[in-house]
Amino acid sequence: MRRLRQSAALRTLTRETELAARHLVQPLFVREDLAEPRAVASMPGVWQHTIDSLRREAAAAAEAGVGGVMLFGIPAQRDARGSAGDDPEGILNVATRAVVAEVGDAITVQTDLCLDEFTDHGHCGVIVDDGGVVTVDNDATLERYTAIACAQAESGAHLLGLSGMMDGQTAAVRQALDAAGHTDTVLMAYSAKYASAFYGPFRDAVDSQLDGDRRSYQIDPANRREGVREAVLDEAEGADIVMVKPALGFLDVVRDVRDAVRVPVWAYQVSGEYAMLEAAAANGWLERRSAIIESLTSIRRAGADTVLSYWATEAADWL
């Protein structure tokens, strides 16, 4: 077995899994009330951007050959229905237009389609308080998602990331976009999105207002088959791409979903995965660059066609 491992040239020639810049998507955060970029304390090297710095980061991603950028917006004002999400002058829609103008012909501009960044309660949908018991109203939330989807498409987003985990969201958004004439807008469904402990730093990055958890609509991390069922349903509803999130803790689900659907499968290397590796590297416990490349390669090896990663642009430069 060692014959094919004896030189760098042979190892490269016989490598089974390719990792290239085009396989990566860079998530980026833009905040409405900033005069200059602000560092995210729990994610070293990640920033909340102004419109100007966001344009520069998107341009750098395009120059590095990254496949796309996924934009998340942080509004100055929030309310219960997440009004900033479908406001044409809301921060994410303004930022989308700016990034499309900057790099729209060179890179796929993607937008997060959810309510959690825009609501004053931090949930991914419209909430109902029944005597102190707070629940998320699925169908009322779908109405908000369709409005936001049309606003994002009007702003020029090439791909919408449906991350809210409401039943029927893919079908509802596809129907609304088609009716509005946005038949070419791509839908990527966060199909197997788990109620993970590894989202903590992301909530710092978007200044989440969440009190409680999202276990009534995100998947139990103990469930493998359920993630596959979600992906198959989303494919049937018209998703062009399906997502597994998080990535490293759910490589078995990535493999299962890849085997079950015919559309592209993406995976999100989430904030907690990023933060723990950065912390270990900062302490000298891991060789940073090698560990980053190995982690990305493992997600590709499991079956992901594309990986969302906060290292995307940096790793693309290495690759």
Q: Which residues are catalytic?
A: 193, 245
Handedness of CA 175, 179, 180, 181 (dihedral sign): positive
Q: DSSP 3-state assignment of 250?
A: helix
Strand (E) or helix (H) holding 280 = helix 271-282
Using CB atoms within 10 A of its CB, is residue 153 exposed (0-12), middle (13-18) or buried (19+)? Answer: buried
Strands (E) in the chain, as ranges, are 24-31, 38-39, 47-49, 68-74, 108-113, 126-130, 133-137, 159-162, 186-193, 241-245, 265-269, 306-309
Count CB-CB contacts under 10 A for residue 262.
6
First to last CA, the chain: 27
Nearest to 82 by CA among 122, 45, 25, 42: 122
